[in-house]
Amino acid sequence: MRRIIVSEFVTIDNVMEDPGGSEGFQYGGWSFKFFNDEYMKYKRDELFAVDATLLGKNTYEAFAAAWPGRSDPEGFADRMNSMQKYLVSSTTTSPSWGPCTVIKGDIWGQIREIKNGAGGDILVAGSGQLVQRLLAEGLVDELRLMVHPTVLGEGKRLFADGAPPLTMKLKDSQIFSTGTTALSYEPVKES
C-alpha cells in the first residue's frame, strides 16, 4: 500500500501561510532565510523518495506558476515537473501542469483507491485545507513538520481551531544549523 506523507513548512506559532512569498501574505517568503545546503538536501531526498504529489487547488496553481520555468543542477525542478500529480479540485477540468489527475466527487474514496493502488509513496505539501481533511479522515501515514525558528503572530495555521484531536508518535527528528527542526510523526491509531 502507498503511504501519504504530508510535509509542511510551519513557524513556531503554527503558521503555514505563504512560506514561498507568492501568495501576497504580508510576511510571505518567511522560510527562505532558513534555507541552506543541508536543508535543501533534506527536501531533495524527500522529493526523490516518492512517486507522486497530492495537492489542493491553491497549492497546485502556485506550484504550476513557479516550477515549469525552473531548472537546477540537482534535478529538483525536473522531478517536480515530471512526477505524477493528483489535484483535488471541484472546478479544475484541464490542469496545465502535468502529468496530473483531477480528483473530484468522492474525494476520500478516490484517495483511498490511489493509496491502495500500485506505486510508491505520495507527498503532500502546502494544501492546508486538504491536509486538515486528510488527517481527519485518517489518510495520513506520516506528518513531517519543518518548524522554522520564527514567530509571525498571524496567518493561516496548519492546525486550525476546531480540528479533531490527534495523537502522534515521534518517528524522527533532525535539527539544521539554521535552527529549523524537521519533525516526523506517525498518527497513532486510536482503538
**What is the tens place of the pLDDT at every residue in 164-177?**
889 999 999 999 99
For the cut 80, the answer to whether the pLDDT of residue 36 exceeds it is: yes
pLDDT tier for residue 22 given thresholds of 50, 70 and 90? confident
Is the whole-model pTM more than 0.85? yes
pLDDT tier for residue 73 given thresholds of 50, 70 and 90? confident
Residue 69: the pLDDT is: 87
**CATH assignment of 4-187, among 3.40.50.11780, 3.40.50.970, 3.40.50.720, 3.40.430.10:** 3.40.430.10
Domain edges within the chain: 4-187
Q: HEC profile for the chain?
A: CCCEEEEEEEECCCECCCCCCCCCCCCCCCCHHHCCHHHHHHHHHHHHCCCEEEEEHHHHHHHHHHCCCCCCCCCHHHHHHHCEEEEECCCCCCCCCCCEEEECCCHHHHHHHHHHCCCCCEEEECCHHHHHHHHHCCCCCEEEEEEECCCCCCCCECCCCCCCCCCEEEEEEEECCCCCEEEEEEECCCC
Residue 190: the pLDDT is: 72
Residue 164: the pLDDT is: 83
